[in-house]
Chain A
Amino acid sequence: MAQTKGKISSTTIPIWFIIATCWLLSFRVYAKLTQAQAPPGKGVAWVTPAQFEEMKKRPSGLGRDLVIYEFTADWCSPCKKRERTVFRAPKVISDINDNFIPVRVDLTSEELSNIPATKKLTQQYRVDSIPRCIITLKSGELVDDDRYMYGDRFAGFIERSKEKANNVRAKLALVKGDYDFAIKNLSPAILSGSVSLDSYSYVDYLMCHHLLLMTHRQAEVEPMMKKTYELTARASEASIPKEPLDWLENLNKYLRDQISDEQLLKTDTADSDIAMSNLAIGLKCLRLGDKDKALKALHKSAVLSAKLYISDSLSEPLAHELEK
């Protein structure tokens, strides 16, 4: 079909176009084969789960406090896309290399998925689909979880997870009874009530309230609660469908000692709300020194959360600590 010198027929296809198309197709194959490889020394310094296990055993320790797990496979095209776009950005690369221990968990084949270190991670974090990115403390506590973040949103996810890690550290300290350390880890925005409750969880709100009381900062409690309520109400107005504020109102009444435990529980219908109310009751009982009642409420909260496949990462360890 290619044109011959001097003579041209109606079926002629220009040779330059055929060459250009072949070149583009070859480049496509090259791009496909190299898409998962960052230039040497310029990418994220990933380690395998087995190498990570080895690192844990070193006397010098792990160095950084946060771990980022990227669950991926060769046949997973969204995973490849993340590799090409997200993990090639200089900001993301430096952020991950400086603050995290990056662990790439390869699930390409059954053989790789069955490596003990890999299997342990997929079971521990219930990884049932990929791509999946999980951020934890080096001690294993879950900080944040992401499935389909691309582009600039991933950089934001990394940034937010560093803040969330502080809340997780605060929870751990609270469980151990180290309230001063716990409150130091909470962000000033949460402590002053400058964030609405759709930006962070009710657990953190309850923890913040509890820590302010336990560290004798009663004067800050009411302004924090008021400001948080106002901001949440404003955010709720903008959202579709509107978030119910009645539950927060009831919770605040309970925290202000205006209603009893029974009255608080009576208003809840959803399991998640009952779990949260039990956590509030458990924390209040802890403050009052009623350990038996606190243990009962925290147990109930942990069981209900587990039923919903969520973990508030506070009620269960607190109950466990009380049982000890």
Chain B
Amino acid sequence: MQIHRTLFNPAIFVHTLCVKFANPRYLLLPILLVGVPAFALLISLSFSHMQLNDEAKKMIAKSVHAYISQPSVYLLLAFLFISDAIASGKLVAESDTLALLFTRPMTRFCYVLTRYLAAVIGTSFFMYCAILLAYIVALFYGVYTIDIGWLTVLSIVLSAASWCSMAIFLHSAAPVVAIITMFILFGCGGMGSIYSHAQEPTNAFLQILKTLILFLDQWFGDFMPNSIDLATMAAASAFDTYEFSIFISNIAFFILIAAFSLSCREFSYGSD
């Protein structure tokens, strides 16, 4: 079979984005996630334990923005698109992956990139629907503080791009490799921030341990996807080149190791 050099495969794109959701019951989970902020807003504004004035309503409505910077929501949505687990009803859902890989004349890099792009679009769409729904609920209460402008759209797309890159790596690598990699990366960041706040060690061993962990945190702790808050970035006094370089390089790095991991994996027809 002649392998094509293309970077984008329409069939995989359509499959990732909509074909696997052909049965409406598979859309239940994303729709629930979309409804969470609007529902929370409705409850907060309707059944408050005290009389809410306009300022209080505005503050409650503004808190909806915290939802669109939640990594867990992005990860969950990204996983729904990238993995076939929901649609196939299997925990380890590689059936469609294999079918797509072996029946299309394309590189595994193309597969990774197409799935990633589709996941970014799908995740961003659902997240924007969530904020839009919350906006409509807020309008019923005469509150106009929820920002649905281009800065919010761009923030959502960039955050989705970041978290989908990690989701595509988790999906592409062998499960053990993926889990160990994430465990190490989370560990470096987590331990580092604990030690940053710790007091001076009392003995030489703890001092060495602290130095080692702070080194790991400094160089590997930020190898985690990060959400970008464009509203804060735009309001900042100076552009944060470093944070932006971390953001972009993390995406590229995760896509590269996802493609590499998938290329290293042996698939056989018997594995399904």
Residues in A lying within 8 Å of B, measured CB to CB: 1, 8-14, 17-18, 20-21, 24-25, 27-28, 31-32, 35, 75-77, 80-81, 84-86, 88-89, 91-92, 110, 113, 129, 150-152, 154-155, 237-240
Contacts and interface: CB of A to CB of B under 8 A. Distances in A.
Nearest to B3: A8
B260 A1 contact: yes
Contacts of A150: 232, 236
B245 A11 contact: no
Contacts of A27: 245, 249
Interface string B207-236: 000000010011101100000000010011
Interface string B1-43: 0010101000000000000000000000000000000000000
A88 B106 CA distance: 47
Given A25-B253, A110-B200, A88 B242 contact: no
A227 to B, nearest CB: 21
A75 B260 contact: no
B249 A10 contact: no
Contact of B232 (A20, A75, A88, A151): A151
Interface residues of B, number: 43
Nearest 6 CB-CB pairings of A with B = A89-B237, A11-B263, A88-B238, A151-B236, A24-B249, A238-B55
Nearest to B210: A75
A13 B240 contact: no
B231 to A, nearest CB: 10
B243 interface: yes
Contacts of A18: 256
B65 interface: no
A22 B157 CA distance: 24
B143 to A, nearest CB: 14
A151 B241 CA distance: 14
B237 A92 contact: yes
A175 to B, nearest CB: 37
Contact of B238 (A1, A89, A110): A89
Nearest to A26: B249
B136 interface: no
A152 B237 contact: yes
B248 interface: yes
Contacts, number: 114
B244 to A, nearest CB: 9
A20 B252 CA distance: 8
A28 B245 contact: yes
Nearest to A8: B3
20 contacts: A8-B5, A8-B107, A10-B106, A10-B263, A11-B108, A13-B259, A24-B245, A24-B252, A27-B249, A28-B249, A32-B219, A85-B236, A85-B238, A85-B240, A86-B236, A86-B237, A86-B238, A150-B232, A151-B237, A152-B236
B237 A32 contact: no
B253 A21 contact: yes
A13 B260 CA distance: 8
B252 A238 contact: no
B268 interface: no
A28 B246 contact: yes
Contacts of A28: 245-246, 249
B196 interface: yes
B81 interface: no
Contacts of A1: 260, 263
Given A25-B249, A84-B238, A237-B53, A76 B256 contact: no
B196 A77 contact: yes
A17 B256 contact: yes
Contacts of B79: none
Given A21-B249, A24-B248, A237-B53, A13 B256 contact: yes
A132 B108 CA distance: 49
B56 interface: yes
A33 B56 CA distance: 44
Contacts of A155: 237
Given A27-B249, A129-B197, A13 B237 contact: no
Nearest to B112: A13
B109 interface: yes
Contacts of B242: 31-32, 35, 80, 84
A99 to B, nearest CB: 16
B246 to A, nearest CB: 6
B207 to A, nearest CB: 8
Contacts of A151: 232, 235-237
A154 B237 contact: yes
A110 B109 CA distance: 49
Nearest to B207: A110
Contacts of B56: 238, 240
Given A31-B245, A75-B218, A12 B238 contact: no
Contacts of B238: 84-86, 88-89
A128 to B, nearest CB: 9
A13 B256 CA distance: 8
B59 interface: yes
A81 B218 CA distance: 13
Nearest to A235: B55
Contacts of B193: 77
A113 to B, nearest CB: 8
